[in-house]
Structure 1
Amino acid sequence: MTIRITWMRIVLALVGAVAAALLVSFSGVITVAASSGHWAVTDWFLHWTMRNSVRTHAFLEGETSPVARDGDLVSAAGHFAAACSSCHGAPGVRPSPVMQKAMPPAPDLTRLDPGKYSDRELHYILTHGVKMTGMPAWGSAHPRGDEVRRMVAFVRLLPRLDAAGYRALSGMATGAGTVGAKGIAGGTMEGCVACHGNDGRGRGQRDIPVLGGQDPAYLARALADYAAGRRSSAVMQNAAARLTAAEREALARHFAAMPGLAPGLGAAPAGGPRAAALVTRGDAAIQLPACTSCHAPGKRAPVLAGQRPAYLAQRLRDWRGEKEVVDARKPQEVMPVIARRIPEEMIDPIARYLAGTGARP
């Protein structure tokens, strides 16, 4: 018997297949229970599809994700401990048994094959997450590239860390047993000092600012902005999300009362005369206002005098890279505009001048 294939029969076959699929779906006979697992072929197909998608889109996105120094990963380790270890575990830390019952369960990153993903692919996964796996996108509306790059480096480091190294880097040892200040629970304070240190000086990290001596109103406002998503930082947004208004105020007062930042510029600031002129007078020719017009003591902006110069320079360079910000229509958009007006060769001298010394790392 010969069956003629016609366009009508093809269309009817497709309609029938779709109708059958809808009928099966409507019946509810397909289980979505995570406890049922996947068939081996289904598991292979889903992971094969995911790997191909990550490879293609990571290439198209083009982020090479340069690896940071191992010693600059305190904030990434602290964020991993707070937001990732419950699913993935960590050296000396078992993942949550509940989270391991997800389908698929989160992989053990302490055993990550170095050749399984490139830095570019890890950057893509951390930034965008993976659908239908429980792996979320980076926890801020506008992911900061510097934070993601540090996390890529930390994920690379995890297989080489032992339990003691992980505790030291993530701040679990630093904050252990920390007593909460008035109005602040001990556990909350442990989370803060894990990155910022008991003295508020950021554990010597180039990406963590000195908090001691900062304006308490500014610190409280920054925490409120992070909690509300008005400032982008997955690390700080996660830390601030569970704080009450009273806790934000108490934390701000606690860290601001510590010694650290100077009330004014140091007696012998480094950076040279050009940096001094830009900081104190600005440059009308390039529409650059003086830093002190906003950052002088008593202003709404944060105190910068005595801040770690590497931190200041890195934040200026990060703002310069935010090309989607083209004007200053919103208060949080002012700094990207100003940063792009600063000549590249003056960023480090300005940071040293504001710091008041070139001795800090």
Structure 2
Amino acid sequence: MKLRIKWKQHLKTIIAFLLIVAVCGAIVVVSGIAPIAASSGHWEITKWFLNFSKERAVATHSMMIEVPDLDVQSKIVQGAGHYEIGCLQCHGSPGKEPPRVVSLMTPKPPDIASIVPDREPQELFYIVKHGIMLTGMPAWPSQQRDDEVWSVVAFLLKYPQLSETEYQQLALGDFEKQSAQTIEGVADDALTVPHEVIESCAGCHGVDGKGRELGVFPKLAGQNEAYMIATLKAYQEDHRHSGTMEPVAGRIDEKIIEEVSQYYSQLKTGDATISSAETEENREAIARGQKIATNGIPQQNVPSCVDCHPTSRTPFNNAYPTLNGQYADYLELQLNLFKQRKRGGTKSANLMHAVVDHMQTEQMQDVSLYYQSLKGGE
């Protein structure tokens, strides 16, 4: 009985203490005396508590994430391309300090080279994909595209060892941002390269629209203008998913969309993407892909591809993409994203779901190789 009475007395004391703390907290908040100025920084104990909480949360939530093969040059280059347009502004790059205004943020964005060696790949993935509350670190703009997030992680793992020159090569290749550039178009006339292409597109897709000869960046040279306009608008409206492209498309207006689309549609497509040696090596797969593209797979309810994506360079009268000479890796990825319902796209994108749902992985590879083997003008 005495123990019960003592326990009740202790409970009343605890409740009273908590009520006092709550009232004091409410007074501080309502009165507005609690500092929120970034210029004041955090108290050391606050900084420790927030850091400790962050470390434990990242470690716990990344525990079961499976890490794919990240030592792939195309992934590293793709990640570098996103870093150049999406991360450099806060974190800087080798040989380039972040803007002064960033140093006045609370907390200040960390130096990537110093923190990456202490992180596991799955931890980097969790941070890049989900961001961190109250730090200015945003979540990945498209939560459906883990493949893009892993490319950024692949790049970050290489970042601490990069020189300024090596970084520039990964992020931009041989491209240099210069105004008043021109390039020869299909009509053998000199096309003026739009400013937006120089600033936002060429680092990944190239001034020539050939995607830096890497399967992670699609070729845009000779692409259907109507399709590109519809696609950029789909990125703007969050109908097509990409954490890299959505922010880029989101900041340009309709006039620029039309200008960029018209420019790339007028470029020469060049030769087939793969060499004759590669064609010989994959000739059986290409032959199977040609059969699928031409006749479909009737027994699997898969229609032919050429009805919407003809292999001859006929005038475009729809908003479907031309696939001739496109990278097989890129095409295969798109087919898989359609199948997983993670791609999105224009108003016609849902037509692809019924197609890919009945296709096997090898069949998607074959038809991708077939389209890659075609010259843009054939």
| Contact residue 226 and residue 236 of structure 1 kept, 8 A | yes
> Could you say what secondary structure the match of 2:108 adopts?
coil
Q: Is the 8 A contact 1:175 1:190 kept in 2?
A: no
Is it true that 1:57 corresponds to 2:61 in the alignment?
yes
Counting only pairs closer than 5 Å after superposition, residues 173-212 of structure 1 correspond to structure 2 as 174-179=175-180, 186=195, 188-212=197-221
> RMSD across aligned C-alpha pairs, in angstroms?
3.0
Alpha-carbon distance between aligned partners in 2 of 1:292 and 1:192, rounded to the nearest angstrom: 29
Quote the residue 2:364 is aligned against.
Answer: 347
The answer as to 2:167 corresponding to 1:150 is: no
Which residue does the alignment assign to 1:288?
302
User: Contact 2:121 / 2:153 at 8 angstroms: preserved in 1?
Assistant: yes
Q: Which stretch has the larger CA shift, 314-323 or 23-32?
A: 314-323
Question: Under a length normalisation based on structure 2, what TM-score does the superposition of the two structures give?
Answer: 0.83
1:91 is matched with which residue? Answer: 94
**Matching of residue 225 in structure 1 with residue 234 in structure 2:** yes
| 1:168 to partner: Cα distance | 1.8
CA distance in 1, matches of 2:261, 2:100: 36
Q: 1:25 to 1:228 in 2, by over 3 A?
A: same
**Does the CA-based 8 Å contact 1:213-1:259 persist in structure 2?**
yes
SS in 2 for 1:73: helix
2:12 maps to 1:29: no
Would the alpha carbon gap of residues 183 and 173 (structure 1) be closer, same or farther in structure 2, given more than 3 Å must change? Answer: closer
In the alignment, the residues of structure 1 paired with residue 210 and residue 268 of structure 2 have an alpha-carbon distance, to the nearest angstrom, of 9
- CA shift, 1:238, in A, is 1.9
Q: For residues 243-322 of structure 1, what are the structure 2 equivalents within 5 Å?
A: 243-260=252-269, 270=283, 271-296=285-310, 298=316, 299-322=318-341
Residue 11 of structure 1 deviates from its aligned partner by 2.9
Task: Check 1:324–1:58 CA distance in 2 against 1; reply closer, same or farther (3 A cut).
Answer: farther
Q: Check the 8 A contact 1:180/1:187 in 2, yes or no.
A: no
Cα gap change, 1:23/1:203 in structure 2, threshold over 3 Å: closer, same or farther? same
Distance 1:309 1:188, change over 3 A: closer
Q: Which residue is equivalent to 1:46?
A: 50
Please, which runs of 5 or more residues in structure 2 have no aligned partner?
1-5, 183-190, 273-278
d(CA) in 2 for partners of 1:283, 1:5: 79
Q: 1:323 deviation in Å?
A: 7.5
Task: Pick closer, same or farther for the CA change 1:336–1:112 going to 2, 3 Å.
Answer: farther
TM superposition score normalised by structure 1:
0.87
Q: Distance in 1 between matches of 2:216 and 2:254?
A: 26
Paired residues of 1:65 and 1:119 also in contact (CA < 8 A): no
How far 1:124 sits from its partner (Å)?
Answer: 0.9
- Report if aligned partners of 2:198, 2:207 keep a CA contact under 8 Å in 1: no
The alignment covers a number of residue pairs equal to 349
Counterpart of 2:222? 213
Quick check: 1:123–1:149 contact (8 Å CA) kept in 2? Answer: yes
- For residues 238 and 214 of structure 1, the distance between their equivalents in structure 2, rounded to whole angstroms, comes to 22
C-alpha distance in structure 1 between counterparts of 2:174 and 2:106, whole Å: 33
The C-alpha deviation readout for 1:96-155, integer Å capped at 9, x for no partner, is 1101211110011123342x2211111111111000111000123x33111111100111
* CA-CA distance at 1:63 after TM superposition: 4.0
Alpha carbons of 1:233 and 1:272: their partners in 2 closer, same or farther (altered >3 Å)?
A: closer
Counterpart for residue 3 of structure 2: none
Q: 1: distance between equivalents of 2:271 and 2:371?
A: 10
Q: Kindly tell me: are residues 137 and 59 of structure 1, through their superposed partners in 2, closer, same or farther at Cα, counting changes over 3 Å?
A: same
CA distance change for structure 1 residues 72 and 318 in 2, over 3 Å: closer, same or farther? same
Identity %: 29
- Whether the aligned pair in 1 keeps the contact of 2:75 and 2:154 (CA below 8 Å) is no
Q: 1:338 aligns with which of 355, 367, 374?
A: 355
Which moves more between the two structures, 20-29 or 196-205?
A: 20-29
State the 1:304 CA deviation: 0.7
Tell me the SS of whatever aligns to 1:341: coil
